[in-house]
Chain A
Amino acid sequence: MNLRLILKLAAIAGVMTAISLWVGQLAYTWMPVPASEEALLVDHLFSFLTTLGTFIFLGVAGTLLYSVLFQRAAKYDEGDGPPIEGNLTLEIVWTAIPLVLVIWIAGYSYRIYDEMNILGPMEHMHGGAAIAAPLTLAQATDAPEAPEAPEIIEVHARQWVWEFYYPVANVTSTELHLPNHRRAKLTLTSEDVLHGFFVPAFRVKQDVIPGRSIDFEFTPIREGTYRLRDSQYSGTYFAAMQANVVVESPDDYQQWLTDVAALSPQPGLNPSYDEYQVKVENRDNRPGWKTVEPAPYPLVNYSGAPVLPER
């Protein structure tokens, strides 16, 4: 190898590194604005992966492109290329480098997952259907009363509506309210099929499994309204099973709980049931097949507003 070649390669590597770092920074903008501590961690990881990935992609695809552009056979050249069959050193190197790389990625991911610490125990429950709504007050009594201890919120999924229960205040809602900068602790249960608890702005997701009660937690860090989506396919109205998540200051949150506790139960938001009514009343005559009936409107203290959060 002569010096010029080395310099050239170094220059190419430098340019590739610069591009990769730049794309890695861009990667932050491909995600929704981060609204939880976990989101910050995940975004770092994603940026790191994108940087590495861009470098590898440029390296390999660039080499290919060079070959395809500059190493074509001349029109009537029927000859063969140099009969190089391999190079043991090279092969060992390109086995070892990816190995080291993925161990690095796995180690980094492990640390981040550990730090997020989003998943608690998943208890099997006796007889899956035993947790039918309406939710009772029974569990409320053993909720911790310590001032900073986060309150456990019960998230209840059924085809196709989300319902949230705040045991301490004995409040039910179809909009999830969370205090900012407080660890949100949820227990996820489902009455019928698999659902998925997914708030893109928080970068957290967990399947909700009938017959189990799953502890799940994260920390919101940004006030605003976000979308909760069902992420695990759950049947006909799966796509409509969304709800708003409102992150507000702890004071506002407490205020909300007190205000709402005074409200008498009313039908909550339930878009899938609304849509089903359109079908039932024959206002939609597109052909379709028989579906599982959506659960009726849950009776809740607070229903929330049926509007999409601003972007």
Chain B
Amino acid sequence: MTEISLEALSPKREQPVPGEPENWRRFFSFSTDHKVIGIQYIVVAFVFFLIGGFLAMIIRGELITPEADLVDRTVYNALFTMHGTIMLFMWTFPVLNGLANYLVPLQIGARDMAFPRLNAVAFWMVPVFGVILMASFLVPGGPSQSGWWAYPPVSLQNPTGNLINGQFLWILAVALSGISSIMGAVNIVTTIIRMRAPGMTFFKMPVFCWAVMAAQTIQLFGLPALTAGAVMLLFDLSVGTSFFDPATGGDPVLYQHFFWFYSHPAVYVIILPVFGVFSELFPVYARKPLFGYKFVAVSSFVITGLSAIVWVHHMFASGTPGWMRMLFMASTMLISVPTGVKIFAWVATIWGGKIKLSTPMLFALGGLVNFLFAGITGIMLAAVPFDIHVNNTYFVVGHFHYVIYGAAVMGIYAAIYHWFPKMTGRMYYEGLGKLHFVLTFVGVNLNFLPMHPAGLMGMPRRVASYDPEFAYWNVLASLGGFLLGVSTLPFLLNMISSWILGEKAPANPWRAIGLEWLVSSPPPHENFAVIPTVVSEPYGYGKNEPLIASQMASTELTSELS
């Protein structure tokens, strides 16, 4: 069903120009169109993904042998610091903001975001703080070498004595990223709460929007805590206050609390929208309604709530008393319940469906399996006695890469393929997409699975050199890492060539249900000539019910078509 697009009904609509080659210049302009900004976010973020990935290649090159023989230790430390920072603040957050920007107004039936100009400002800050961060390679002393946590006192040690040092620029970049993210969060939350089309109650809203709203709520309460910590760190570093410096009476552990109060929930800022993507894609490619839609929708907010009370699980081996460790073990265990609810719901959605293994579905399925594995190691990590052993080892690195690469990045790929026809008006090449999937899935598992045994045996993370007993697993991991490097090539080739040469995409190539599929590909400026009135829940596969009011009369017609 839903073959009929609104455009077809409306004679007055403007011609859809976006996506046409002659119009590429607007992607370099201060556009306030949420669709342009969405694509800008995604493309800029991907550039940083490639940069961060390049650094990872050097890291894996160093680790393929036990000795610190490829680069100097200071360089190695700068590399993993920058790798982590870029991947989180310049790739994952922006690319997800890009998806949210592009999809939310379309999915809720709005013409744009609530604050289009604020939106553009928030986006343009990304290249600005990106450049600031990269510039730290050029200052004396090099980039920050204190890891993406920037734990003091290491982050306060400033061997060159310069005021403008790598750590300074790092804090500046992270602070700007925080401001940009807050702007984005205010915008997205306002948009979702206040600009839904008539008839779209919360329980008729797609799960992606639910998840994005839950994620952005986290930004709103979490980022300020990080900002507070960062401001104090900056004063310690540059002015000489003593907030976190034990040499003058400060408390370095308090910084850890500030940092993780945000940075634990931040992992849910990343994964929740990806959960949203899974929830959108499985119904389409299994041709079944999302199982337990309301449970899935609400569980995002349960996660948001719980995510605020689990942060100490990153500090089980730090300066935390026993009672605190036990308390936060309990809360961390609880958070796996709403997560489990989602996993079961997806499996039940897929079960008994008519599954089509096209590229987006492959990525989503692969992401789900990887996430399952990461969730299980996550529960292990929540068990304090076990975490004491593996905390700060490669086991943790394995765990979170399974989530962030295995589930989040693969979910993002799934989303990009799924909505590529909508965004560009062109179809991608299925063959290249499948090749990309295979390389990524094998690469992820080859790269990150061996990290678990290495960690169990006691290999600490963040090391430039290690005892030879760990060499075997590291060789495997490095090979997997290089494979992941290679895996971006078919993706890039696919995206670029499809955008230019791909077959023209119809409005709804996947026969998917959702407001975004009712408008042309790419959607016209301001999306909807006529704001639709929503009458059904979002995942009516197999039910032959109309999604919006104007389809009512034509339902019978479409049901014959499908």
Contact = CB atoms under 8 A, between A and B. Distances in A.
Is there a direct interface between A and B, measured as CB atoms under 8 Å apart in the complex? yes
Interface stretch (B74-82, B232-240, B415-423, B477-485): B74-82
A42 B385 contact: yes
Contacts of A204: 388-389
B543 interface: yes
Contact of A83 (B141, B289, B377, B464): B289
A306 to B, nearest CB: 13
B247 A210 contact: yes
Interface in A79-138: 79-87, 90-91, 94-95, 98-99, 102-103, 105-106, 108-110, 112-113, 116, 118-119, 122, 127-129
Interface string A55-81: 011001101100110011100011111
A20 to B, nearest CB: 12
A63 B351 contact: yes
A305 to B, nearest CB: 15
A287 B79 CA distance: 13
B469 A311 contact: yes
A94 B340 contact: yes
Interface residues of B, number: 108
Contacts of A242: 467
Contact of B385 (A64, A113, A127): A113
B29 to A, nearest CB: 38
B465 A200 contact: no
Interface in A279-311: 279, 284, 286-292, 308, 311
Contacts of B325: 113
Contacts of A102: 333-334, 336-337, 379
A231 B147 contact: no
A288 B252 CA distance: 28
Interface in B137-172: 140-142, 145-147, 151, 153-154, 157, 159-160
B77 A71 contact: no
Contact of B376 (A56, A108, A231): A56
| Most chain B CB atoms below 10 A, which of A119, A233, A238 | A233
B110 interface: no
A193 B160 contact: no
Contact of A128 (B246, B336, B542): B246
B504 interface: no
Given A31-B457, A71-B352, A230-B460, A110 B326 contact: yes
B337 A99 contact: yes
A267 interface: no
A37 interface: no
A231 B422 CA distance: 48
A129 B247 contact: yes
A30 B394 CA distance: 13
Contact of A53 (B141, B380, B468): B380
B157 A71 contact: no
Contacts of A288: 71-75
Interface in B334-388: 334, 336-337, 340-341, 343-345, 347-348, 350-357, 365, 368-369, 372-373, 376-377, 379-380, 382-386, 388
A21 interface: no
A239 interface: yes
A63 to B, nearest CB: 5
Grouping DSSP codes into helix (H, G, I), strand (E, B) and loop, the A interface class, with mixed when no group exceeds half, is mixed
For chain A, the bracket of interface size reads 35 or more
7 contacts: A32-B457, A53-B380, A71-B355, A81-B542, A95-B341, A209-B318, A284-B72
Interface of B: 68, 71-75, 77-78, 140-142, 145-147, 151, 153-154, 157, 159-160, 245-253, 286-295, 317-319, 321-322, 325-326, 329-330, 333-334, 336-337, 340-341, 343-345, 347-348, 350-357, 365, 368-369, 372-373, 376-377, 379-380, 382-386, 388-389, 391-393, 453, 456-458, 460-469, 511, 537, 539-543, 562
Interface of A: 30-32, 38, 41-42, 45-46, 49-50, 53, 56-57, 60-61, 63-64, 67-68, 71-73, 77-87, 90-91, 94-95, 98-99, 102-103, 105-106, 108-110, 112-113, 116, 118-119, 122, 127-129, 192-194, 196, 198, 200-201, 203-207, 209-212, 214, 227, 229-240, 242, 275, 279, 284, 286-292, 308, 311
